[in-house]
Amino acid sequence: MDYLVAVDSCGELTPEMKASGHFVNVPLTIDVQGYSIVDDETFDQKDFLRRVAQSPEPPHSACPSPEAYRKVFERDAEHLFAVTLSAELSGSCSSAQLGRALCLEEHPDKKIHVFNSRSASIGETLIAMKIGELEEQHCSFEEIVERVEAYIDTQTTWFVLESLEALRKNGRLSNLKAVVASVLNIKPVMMSTPTGNIQQLCQVRGINRALSRMVDNIVETVREPSQRILAISHCNCRERGEMVREAITKRIRVKDSFLIDTQGISSLYASDGGIIVVI
């Protein structure tokens, strides 16, 4: 195997990526009121969403250990990469960096690089795909690192939440604000910052208006869309995801597009009905 890309489990892998043998997920874990869930191929989204809805306490996630990353980096591959959740949102990037350092102590000649996605979910997916694309072009390790870091600089992540309950339970929103937003049917449109944090673009009444506002912002701000892949992840709402993809591709021409269901960590933050878009 010439290369291996480890993506923490907030990043969804497409069926093609899984079949290639070049991409693996490093799972995070989720605790829902004492019930531990490993975010791997055993993840059951419907059961998870049911448990979260019934729990008065917020779910908590834990990033992979440095040892988990070290084991991946010790595999037999010429080039090894990790793509992690934004360092502003999770300790996964720090764990991967430490796992890299531990591996290099024993194998100093290995070529390993950790990419801080400054994104999440399918933002990580697209970065991993970019690595694979450059590997297939037989680029050098150093060129891949340089070009992928430059690619990350151009990425923006948008998302719309159906419910603010997850934010309320995690203390990101007061009970009063959550109740008012629910009563008034207010939906926030969120997007990433250049450093990988989260900012609110706007808030509107109704999910369809929120999705429409998100689509407008994407169409207005994306540069050279014909050279880019449109990626959409959805939490238990494929029809809504297809609607967003159609709305975008009717207005701009993209290189390619795909739609995928969220894994565990993305389901935790997007909540039931959430939509995440990266291009």
Give residue for tokens 């043998």. Answer: 21
Give yes or no for a contact between 232 and 241, defined as CB atoms under 8 angstroms apart.
Answer: yes
Structure tokens belonging to residue 211: 């999705």
Sheet strands (E) in 193-255: 198-205, 229-234
d(CA 264, CA 235): 10
Per-residue confidence of the chain (279 residues) as pLDDT tens digits?
A: 699 999 999 999 999 999 999 999 999 999 999 999 999 999 999 999 999 889 888 888 999 999 999 999 999 999 999 999 999 989 999 999 999 999 999 999 999 999 999 999 999 999 999 999 999 999 999 999 999 999 999 999 999 987 666 555 554 444 434 433 454 467 888 899 999 988 888 888 889 999 999 999 999 999 999 999 999 999 999 999 999 999 999 999 999 999 999 999 999 888 889 999 999
d(CA 143, CA 146): 5
Domains of the chain: 3-28+63-152 (3.40.50.10440), 157-278 (3.30.1180.10)
DSSP 79-91: EEEEEES-TTT-S
